[in-house]
Amino acid sequence: MAKEIPLGAKATAEETVEFKHTLTAHHPELPPVYSTPDMIRLMETAASLALHPYLEEGEISVGTQIHVEHRAASGMGAKVRAEAVLESFDGRFYTVRVEARDELQEIGRGTVGRAVVKVSQFLEKLHKRAAS
């Protein structure tokens, strides 16, 4: 399994808010602001990147839980940066503290849970479930 991942391991992910990231893209009557699912996706990306350097060949980390607050709106053109810092490990699951900010303020924060899996075993289990 993965090498020991040190608490405090961190990474960031960034993007500029485009129309496809807005609520309007999902429903035309909603305002053109950064959607919560897109903020969560960016946070998950940062969390994955924080663990990635410590994984063995053939391993990935997968999301297992998410607890976040979306606290402020960001409009199109805003640059959003998510930072992830490994906070704890309980023997199987990693808890990563995440925060998202635009140029002006914090827009979201919380934690995401991740687990390390071997891709081959993961796909084998998936195929067995699909066949039953």
Say how far apart CA 15 and CA 34 lie, in whole Å.
11
Element housing 130 (H / E): helix 119-131
- The residue type of 85 is V
Active site residues: 36, 44, 70
26-53 burial, b if ≥16 CB within 10 A, otherwise e?
A: eeeeeeebbbeebbbebbbbbbbbbbee
Q: How far is CA 35 from CA 26, 39, 63, 65, 72, in A?
A: 9, 6, 19, 19, 11
Say how far apart CA 123 and CA 117 lie, in whole Å.
10
